[in-house]
Homo-oligomer: A and B are copies of this chain.
Amino acid sequence: MTGLPGRSMGIQEIATVTGLSKSTVSRALRGMSTVADTTIDEVRRVADELGYVPSSAAAGLATGRQRAIGVVVPVIDRWFYVKALGGVDAELRRAGYDLVLYNLGGPGGDRDRAFRRSMLRHRVDGLVLLSLVLDETERAELELTRHPMIVIGGPAPGLRNVGVDDVVVAAVAVDHLCGLGHRDVAYVGGQDEAGMNVAVPWLRRDGFVDALAARGIAVREDWILDGRFSFAGGADAGAALFDRTRGAAIPTAVFCASDEMALGVVLAARRAGLEVPGDVSVMGIDGHEYGEVAGLTTIAQDPVAQGRVAARAVLEEVDGGVAGPLSASPAHLVVRSTTGPVRLQDPPAA
């Protein structure tokens, strides 16, 4: 229902057709109150008829605002990032902002080139960083763009941050396990897996070690494994942990830094002929849907909500709001059926 434009429709042609000026058309399209209602209707009608598509580039150039927010993720295919991304997206959509995804693409990715300020090319008005720890150079580069930024996940020095307190989380987990009588507890975490400088794994591991130490329990070196933050990695770690052929002792509980790894450990336990939680208790962190179905005990956090909070915060700052501090997101223990009391082998001295 339109005449095909010789070149791409502009407000100029709407102006011509309606006999109005470009300025009025521009105002009408944006529904400004200084324009007569009848004019607004007329302009919108014609715009529709003509198949007008606004140019964000032109508007952006004129106003200096792109109405877009960038989201930087270390890798895309991780439960937490996907969920958080969804939260950010939902909030941006509400505000009429577009979302530009910057995926560093893991170890194979070109991280070096990734954080150059030029990468952003002023395409976005603000940035949400997921679980990234930046080095000085990167920080400086980003700072140059003068964009509001906020990070989700690991606390980043000098940047506002939304996320759970990972040290507390680890402490709560240790509490739960020790409360059930466990003293032989292993930890399955992850390295800086993707060369991505993710801080969270370290915080959780340290939190775990410290919380255990606070109870006078020393951590066995060989009970701290790398589960690569994945289901497969968890299964591998579990297999190593439960391998009796080595003649080594087996922990009575395993605390995993993510639900995906915990699920893998549960699988490994079953394969090793161990009962969960009869022989070994397993718990994770996250609140993954799979864990819910599988009955996994976990410390649940809400990445979608974190994404929303982060998005709202940048948006506010973009709109000239002040950058107030953000409070930590709540995380809560969800006890399900993969943790239970330690099996009594040596009945306590009566």
List A residues at the B interface (Cβ < 8 Å): 2, 8, 51-61, 64, 66, 68, 76-77, 82-83, 85-86, 89-90, 93, 98-103, 105, 109-110, 117-118, 120-123, 144-146, 230-232, 235, 264, 267, 289-290, 292-294
Contacts and interface: CB of A to CB of B under 8 A. Distances in A.
Contact of A232 (B55, B103, B292): B292
Contact of A58 (B61, B102, B144, B264): B61
A51 B141 CA distance: 8
Contact of A120 (B51, B53, B68, B264): B53
Given A54-B122, A85-B76, A293 B232 contact: yes
A100 B98 CA distance: 7
Copy number of this protein in the oligomer? Answer: 2
Contacts of A144: 2, 51, 53
Q: Lowest 4 A-B CB distances belong to which pairs?
A: A57-B60, A56-B121, A57-B61, A56-B123
A59 B8 CA distance: 17
A232 to B, nearest CB: 5
B66 A93 contact: no
Nearest to A1: B140
A55 B60 CA distance: 10
A233 to B, nearest CB: 9
Given A51-B117, A77-B83, A57 B122 contact: yes
Contacts of A98: 100, 102, 121, 123
B68 A122 contact: no
Contacts of A110: 93
A146 B60 CA distance: 21
B93 A86 contact: no
A118 B105 CA distance: 30
